[in-house]
Structure 1
């Protein structure tokens, strides 16, 4: 099975937030929910100078996602082919059980739709052979889509 991850080169990220902005625009999200976010760490002293680090945080698409197990309507799903965890919006009743279950805060609340939303690695784009929007628009190319091959049991 092929699985994906968003990788980041910390040395290249300047904290411009392009990934956040274009993700929201691509998904048509209102103010509030953020499917990915850049978290600033620091400042800390490096060679006597203050430095910050900017860390990309998105859904980890867990091997055994607590959000999927917590969903009473099976709206939160994991694709068998590639492990992408996503929300089937038509089935979501807005109970927020998945939000409570996710230890990473990756599941967000859409106040306009009254349903949950989360990063789905732009699965519609992946299915067309394209990269996720956050990777495509990264101004310093610090984000990349990494293909992880899972070892098959012998």
Structure 2
């Protein structure tokens, strides 16, 4: 079966926060939200963008963990710290260039998006992508990703995405499309 990736079309986000509600319902999340929705410039626009772990191929959070508490799953998902290994040093929260891992002081444990590994390991879309009403978050095959890249190349001659815009942490398993935001496309909402 073809490998699937989480694909984010940032410009489609309407700030409904359905992804946040769904995240709390994912198995093992203990009703804790592991994703965020950020307002881009609330004084001038209603544009929002979802923020979640990009599941870096060589993640700084895992590299900085002295206890090896952060594991990388076979599908590329960078998992939250293992309870039995995390020593609460918070190196991972400092090392992440995207500011994604959060630290729970009460549990002395780092938590973050784990790409709903309990679902995605069985080829089921992550909760956030399964409920997004605007297709901002999509669970697609690599072939579908290539088709989207080709469509953007044909439309404007270039592809604006996380793997092509010099990301801070090299290659990521989550792909992001930015053409509307980077090119100043006006939204209808």
Listed one character per residue, the Cα deviations across residues 98-150 of structure 1 (whole Å, up to 9, x for unaligned) are 1111111111112342200111100110122311011112233331124448x
- Residue 42 (structure 1) aligned with residue 41 (structure 2): yes
- 8 Å contact from structure 1 (residues 7, 146) kept in 2: no
Paired residue for 2:76, among 64, 73, 83? 83
What is residue 5 of structure 1 aligned with on the other side? Answer: 6
Asked if 1:123 is matched to 2:117, the reply is: yes
The answer to whether residue 15 in structure 2 is matched with residue 15 in structure 1 is yes
> Is the aligned partner of 1:28 residue 2:21?
no
- CA distance 1:103–1:120, change in 2 (3 Å): same
- After TM superposition, the structure 1 stretch with the greater mean CA deviation from structure 2, 56-65 or 138-147, is 138-147
Task: Answer yes or no: is the 8 Å Cα contact 1:3–1:83 preserved in 2.
Answer: no
Residue 41 of structure 1 deviates from its aligned partner by 1.2
Q: What is the deviation of 1:43?
A: 4.8
Task: Give me the whole-angstrom Cα distance separating, in 1, the residues matched to 2:99 and 2:126.
Answer: 20
Secondary structure of residue in 2 paired with 1:22: helix
- Once residues 85 and 141 of structure 2 are traced to their aligned partners in structure 1, the CA distance between those partners, rounded to angstroms, is 29
Shift of 1:3: 6.3
**Residues 50-69 of structure 1: matches in 2 within 5 Å?**
51-69=45-63
Which structure shows the higher strand fraction?
1
When the two structures are superposed, what TM-score results if normalisation uses the length of structure 2?
0.64
* Aligned residue pair count: 139
Give the structure-1-normalised TM-score.
Answer: 0.77
Which of 99, 105, 115 in structure 2 is aligned with 1:111? 105
Q: Distance in 2 between matches of 1:104 and 1:36?
A: 12
Indicate if the aligned counterparts of 2:77 and 2:114 stay in contact, CA closer than 8 A.
yes
**5+ residue gaps in structure 2?**
144-189
Q: Deviations over 1:24-49 (max 9, x none)?
A: 2431145xxx42111111257xxxxx
Structure 1 residue 23, shift from structure 2 partner: 0.8
Rounded to whole Å, the distance in 1 between the matches of 2:60 and 2:4 is: 18
Q: Say what the alpha-carbon RMSD is for the aligned residues.
A: 2.4
Summarize the Cα distance change of 1:64–1:99 in structure 2 as closer, same or farther, 3 Å threshold.
Answer: same
